[in-house]
Amino acid sequence: MPLLRDIFIHLSENQFLNNSTKKMGLKFGANKVVGGVSIDDTIERIKDINDQEMSVVFDNLGEFITDKEDAIQEKGKIIAMINAIHEFGVDSHASVKLSQIGLQIDYDFCLNNIDEIIAVANKLDIFVNIDMESYNLYPDTLRILDAMLEKYDNVGTVIQAYLLNSPDDILKYKDTRLRIVKGAYKESADAAHQDKADIDKAYLELIKSHLTEGTGYTSIATHDHHIIEEIIDFIEQNDIDHDRFEFQMLYGFRKDYQKNLVKRGYKMVVYLPFGMDWYAYFMRRLAERPQNINLIVKSVTKH
Ligand code: FDA
C-alpha cells in the first residue's frame, strides 16, 4: 500500500497538524499506541503493563529539536519521568533521543544534558538507553555513548542491523547493554543495506554475536515472528541464560504475541511513547503498517 504510506508520511510532517494536536488529548485511536500525554497517565499505563508481567521502556515523544530552551524543557520531562518511576515503584527504564536534548544544536550542550539524565537515573538504579537515530547523528551518538560508559554503568545504545558498520560495532560493544533493531530511517547504500533479506540476515547475525561474544545484555527489538522464533531456537540450543536478554516490542503491536512470549518464560519489554508530540509518531506507525488504519476506524465509529 505505497500510496497510503506516502499519505501518512506526509501527514506526519504537516506542521499545522503537529502543532494543533499538541493541545488535544490523544485522539483518533492514538491511545492504542501512545501511553499518555501526561506523566500521571503514563504511569497508570505502565502499571497496567507491569500487571501483565511485562516491563516498560518509556520514550518522551518529540525529536529533532533546534532550540536550546525546548531541549532543556524536554530534558526536564525525562528527568521528571525517571523520578516518577522511582516514586511509584514501577518497572520501567528510559529511552532517550539525543536530537531531543540538543545534539543538533551543540555537542557539549547535549553531552551535559544526557550526563544529567544518566546521573539522576544512576542514583535511582534506572537504566538509560540512548536511541540511535539517522546516520548523520551516528558518529556523535557513539562518541557521547563512549563518554558516558566511562562514567556510568546504567547506559547502553541501539545497533541498527541495516548499517554496514554494525558488525564492527557489535564487537566493540560486546560488553555493553544493546538494543538491536533493523533500522527505521532512509539511509543511502553507502551506509546501509537496502534489501530486506540482507537486513534480516544481518539482524540475526548481530543478535547471535551479542548473545555469545561478551557479557552485554541483549534487547531483541522486533515484531518479526520469523526472526524471534529463530532466535529462540538458537537460545535454547545454546543454553543461553534467560537473564541475558529480553524481547522488546512497541506498545499496541502484536499484543497476543507479547503475551505468548511471557507465557513461554521470556522477558518482554513494551516500548511506551508518551507526551504531547503524539501525532507525528502515530502517523508514522500508520505509514509503516497501513493495516493499523483500523485503529482510527474503530475509534471514530465508537463515538
Ligand atoms: P518488519 O517491519 O521488518 O516486519 C517483519 C515481519 O514481521 C512482517 O512482514 C510481518 O510478518 C511481521 N510483523 C511486523 N509487524 C507486525 C504487526 N504489527 N502485526 C503482525 N505482524 C507483524 N529503529 C531505529 O532506527 N532506532 C531505534 O532506536 C529504534 N528503537 C526501537 C525500539 C523498539 C522496541 C522497536 C520494536 C523498534 C525500534 N526501532 C528503532 C524500529 C526498527 O528499526 C524497525 O523499523 C521496526 O521495528 C520495524 O521492523 P520489525 O523488525 O519490527 O519488523
Residue 303 pLDDT level (bands cut at 50, 70, 90): very low
Distance 248 CA to ligand 1 centre (A): 10
223-261 pLDDT, tens digit each: 999 999 999 999 999 999 999 999 999 999 999 999 999
Mean pLDDT, the chain, whole residue set: 91
Domains and CATH numbers, the chain: 35-274 (3.20.20.220)
For residue 12, pLDDT over 80 is answered with: no
**Is 179 assigned a catalytic role?**
yes
Grid cell for residue 185: 530511517
pLDDT at 94 over 80: yes
Decide if 131 is catalytic: yes
Mutate to test the pocket of ligand 1, among 181, 250, 267, 288 (most ligand atoms within 8 A of CB): 181
24 neighbors 299 (Cβ within 8 angstroms): no
Confidence of residue 292 (pLDDT cuts 50, 70, 90): low
ipTM confidence: 0.97
How many angstroms separate the alpha carbon of residue 222 from the centre of ligand 1? 5
Q: Is the pLDDT of residue 111 over 70?
A: yes
DSSP string, 17-55: HHHHHHTS-S-TTGGGT---SSHHHHHHHHHHHHHTT-E
Span 140-196, pLDDT tens digits:
999 999 999 999 999 999 999 999 999 999 999 999 999 999 998 889 999 999 999
**Closest-CA residue to 131 (of 180, 195, 79):** 180
Choice between 14 and 153, residue whose per-residue pLDDT is larger: 153
Query: How many angstroms does the Cα of residue 116 sit away from the middle of ligand 1?
Result: 30
Beta strand ranges found along the chain (DSSP E): 55-60, 92-96, 128-130, 155-160, 178-181, 218-221, 245-250, 268-274
The percentage of the chain sitting over the pLDDT mark of 90, rounded to a whole number, equals: 76
Instruction: Return the pLDDT at 298.
Output: 58
